[in-house]
Structure 1
């Protein structure tokens, strides 16, 4: 007998798995985790319950942006949830999903099995990235939809008061709320990309999982500092703040566009760095725990360089310098908001209709008693607002104490006279109602004021 050698033909080798098949497989693996399923349920249920419950309370979160209007319109609740999500929820969600999508294979020791099945590191990276992105988008959509539903059920489709006092109809508020959530996707994607980078670079180390949360915390701390405008806007999380500009008239689009663009650039660069590191790792090392040196040279240093370049570009392109908060901007913002809100109070009290042009509202603001430069953030801004009523000889006057934060947001606290802004309720023909002039939120545009058309 003679032995016959049989060679395997090329057609007998199984083809490499496609990206679509790898993507579906990664989605199944993600949704098989109890924590992912729990997060999906929480994002689709918890905001609705929270907003609906708070909207029915007599004590509202007035220290939160748009919180004072949660009892009158459902759209305010969704914006309150967005503010909380940008600070806490979204960094945590990106950490759990993107920060663990590669590191999980290191902990389980399954890289060899995955490589045998797919036979393409590039397709593995693309499938895992797309799957984590899909889950994150599902969670963000859940937060938005749930908060909107809870708000409409709890407070209805009422008008929303903008950050300059102008009234937005229910339809206008719906579109702007949706746009604000869409803009928040920019910094969310940048955090997800940083999570991917940490998951690839640090392997089984828990720091890879915590990286988006730590990075988001550092950005929040930086925003509290008296940074110059170019430095503030060069941070990828600035769009979590600059969506406030959507709720002024005209819209403060400059900071928002810059914030979203910067976050998208960070998303591309961080994802490319993660891809670069992933293709160069040694999958034969079963005890791979990442390389701190490589994480620094191929991760931290390039992102630090990107931050430096962004600051330089924005410093050359933007006309603002310093904090961007000046006396003229504060006075203009307070006067505009007061004029709009005074008309709203006039409607509540069934007084004769008056326009902003007739009121001729003006504000005189000083910081710290006027002995300094009258610019920058602080809780020592003092404003005196004056206005004229048609047919009246006397000039109306009201006093406000302002707390202006580093990002331009401020709370104006009325300090009299009592019949104008010294009490939190006004007596209307339908009963007591919140006084819109008692306290109000405003926003100082860090760019030079947008000219009105």
Structure 2
């Protein structure tokens, strides 16, 4: 009897529908957008994303101690373009998963908590248009928050430090215009994994209803994928996870750009976004709105939500492995580490030469090479770790003696490494070098690099 009464209240009669105008998706979208921005959480997040990054970047850029363990953090005193990249690295790890949880993970669950589904259905009379309106409204707010993070951190960096060249991940110098384009492109690229997390948020909000797990699902999934990226997994598994696109933008800052892993990460993320949103849509259409207690279940979330996504992981791993040839191994091999380190050193040596007003030299003239070992392994070493030791050799025009410098490398599972100078002191033994205009950071003392994890055949 109760279900019958509820059904009558939820589904208006055809006679009552005939005289009322059809509610379009555009009107529903505006209504849902107003509801979202009226929430106190969103009202706090929007100004925070548009103001806090600028204050953080400007504040850190004025300090003598920089976040050198963060990618591009060591260059925050040298150029304003390093700040938005530091914020981008933090956002991909923490901020964007939390923002998608708060917005997309709650957009449907809020109706369950408030018990307003019947009123919404009476007003719009179409679950399809309701889903479209809510999904578009949450996407708009998420894009607004991401745009705030990017714009605020960029403005803060440029005002605090200035529009100066940026040192790339292979040591080459990017002009201010080139740095601006790559920074913007990097932020655009991370929209793909953000959309994937947003789709997971919609799925959790629909499948779990008022359960707190629906709200936390994007953050939990993002955390699980971050842990997976730190494990010694094969390259194909890493690239088949949406979280890889939060890392692969690093390849934009090498010359030539390492676009293969980035393109794979973006495509995988977009596939995840479409799949998760489609599953959420189908579950929403199958929901019984006449049952006021039907707000999702853990069993339905597992069978209709997690199992298809787990199957998607298996499919994407197989596709990536077949198309790239990266079936096993970490992708971090001795030969690739040596080539990457030698290129980085040659670019940065030129920079140090200019700082010290020495005769100009080119990378071709230096003919730099590197010989690396990992622990006790001297031949065919591979894998991440902080036990890599390398000797870089180079030649100066007109000088018969071969110059050599020692570096200790800490390589993470995603291919990024930090090279820490270990002598001679005249080359990489000091943090600062004395120039004609005063002390300046020594580019050869400690620097970042990146190893392309894909096989050479996949990149060609």
Same fold (TM over 0.5): yes
Q: In structure 2, what is the Cα distance between the partners aligned to 1:235 and 1:300?
A: 14
CA-CA distance at 1:370 after TM superposition: 2.3
Q: Are residue 71 (structure 1) and residue 68 (structure 2) matched? A: no
Q: Are residue 183 (structure 1) and residue 189 (structure 2) matched? A: yes
Which residue pairs with 2:332 in the alignment? 325
Change (3 A) 1:116 1:425: same
Q: In structure 1, what is the Cα distance between the partners aligned to 2:78 and 2:120?
A: 54
Change (3 A) 1:348 1:265: same
Change (3 A) 1:448 1:306: same
Which residue pairs with 1:446 in the alignment? 453
Structure 1 runs, 4 residues or longer, greater than 4 Å off: 7-12, 449-453
Q: Are residue 97 (structure 1) and residue 103 (structure 2) matched? A: yes
Q: Please give the per-residue CA displacement for 1:345-391, whole angstroms capped at 9, x wherever unaligned.
A: 00000000000111010000111132574101000000000000001
Choose which of 265, 268, 282 in structure 2 pairs with 1:259.
265
Which residue pairs with 1:390 in the alignment? 397
Q: Are residue 122 (structure 1) and residue 164 (structure 2) matched? A: no
Q: In structure 1, what is the Cα distance between the partners aligned to 2:458 and 2:267?
A: 23
Q: In structure 1, what is the Cα distance between the partners aligned to 2:133 and 2:458?
A: 47
Change (3 A) 1:109 1:341: same
Change (3 A) 1:402 1:282: same
Q: In structure 2, what is the Cα distance between the partners aligned to 1:97 and 1:451?
A: 38
Which residue pairs with 1:381 in the alignment? 388
Which residue pairs with 2:4 in the alignment? none
Q: In structure 1, what is the Cα distance between the partners aligned to 2:292 and 2:340?
A: 60
Which residue pairs with 2:6 in the alignment? none
Which residue pairs with 2:10 in the alignment? none
Change (3 A) 1:285 1:413: same
Aligned residue for 2:194, secondary structure, equals: helix
Q: Please give the per-residue CA displacement for 1:111-134, whole angstroms capped at 9, x wherever unaligned.
A: 000000000000000000000000
> Could you tell me whether the CA contact under 8 Å between 1:398 and 1:416 is conserved in 2?
yes
Q: In structure 1, what is the Cα distance between the partners aligned to 2:322 and 2:200?
A: 27
**1:209-288 to 2 correspondences below 5 Å:** 209-288=215-294
Aligned residue for 2:406, secondary structure, equals: strand
CA-CA distance at 1:448 after TM superposition: 2.9
Which residue pairs with 2:63 in the alignment? 57
Q: Taking structure 1 as the reference length, what is the TM-score of the superposition?
A: 0.97
Which residue pairs with 1:4 in the alignment? none
CA-CA distance at 1:293 after TM superposition: 1.3
Choose which of 421, 424, 428 in structure 2 pairs with 1:421.
428
**1:148-167 to 2 correspondences below 5 Å:** 148-167=154-173
Q: In structure 2, what is the Cα distance between the partners aligned to 1:186 and 1:283?
A: 32
What CA RMSD, in Å, does the superposition of the two structures yield over aligned residues?
1.6
> Could you tell me whether the CA contact under 8 Å between 2:98 and 2:218 is conserved in 1?
yes
Q: Which runs of no fewer than 5 residues in structure 1 stay unpaired?
A: 1-6
Which residue pairs with 2:94 in the alignment? 88
> Could you tell me whether the CA contact under 8 Å between 1:250 and 1:450 is conserved in 2?
no
CA-CA distance at 1:22 after TM superposition: 0.1
Q: Are residue 45 (structure 1) and residue 46 (structure 2) matched? A: no
Change (3 A) 1:412 1:90: same
Q: Taking structure 2 as the reference length, what is the TM-score of the superposition?
A: 0.95
Which residue pairs with 1:3 in the alignment? none
> Could you tell me whether the CA contact under 8 Å between 1:60 and 1:68 is conserved in 2?
yes
For these two proteins, the number of residue pairs brought into alignment is 447
Q: In structure 2, what is the Cα distance between the partners aligned to 1:89 and 1:413?
A: 29
Aligned residue for 1:227, secondary structure, equals: coil
Q: Please give the per-residue CA displacement for 1:417-439, whole angstroms capped at 9, x wherever unaligned.
A: 00000111111111111000000
> Could you tell me whether the CA contact under 8 Å between 1:369 and 1:382 is conserved in 2?
no
Q: Which runs of no fewer than 5 residues in structure 2 stay unpaired?
A: 1-12
Q: In structure 1, what is the Cα distance between the partners aligned to 2:458 and 2:159?
A: 38
Choose which of 76, 100, 114 in structure 2 pairs with 1:108.
114
> Could you tell me whether the CA contact under 8 Å between 2:80 and 2:160 is conserved in 1?
yes
Change (3 A) 1:243 1:8: closer
Q: In structure 2, what is the Cα distance between the partners aligned to 1:432 and 1:65?
A: 23
Which residue pairs with 1:309 in the alignment? 315
Aligned residue for 2:242, secondary structure, equals: coil
> Could you tell me whether the CA contact under 8 Å between 2:236 and 2:321 is conserved in 1?
yes
Aligned residue for 1:238, secondary structure, equals: helix
Which residue pairs with 2:179 in the alignment? 173
Q: In structure 2, what is the Cα distance between the partners aligned to 1:371 and 1:55?
A: 41
Change (3 A) 1:451 1:34: closer
Q: In structure 1, what is the Cα distance between the partners aligned to 2:14 and 2:64?
A: 77
Choose which of 414, 433, 437 in structure 2 pairs with 1:430.
437
CA-CA distance at 1:291 after TM superposition: 1.4
Which residue pairs with 2:7 in the alignment? none
Q: In structure 2, what is the Cα distance between the partners aligned to 1:323 and 1:242?
A: 15
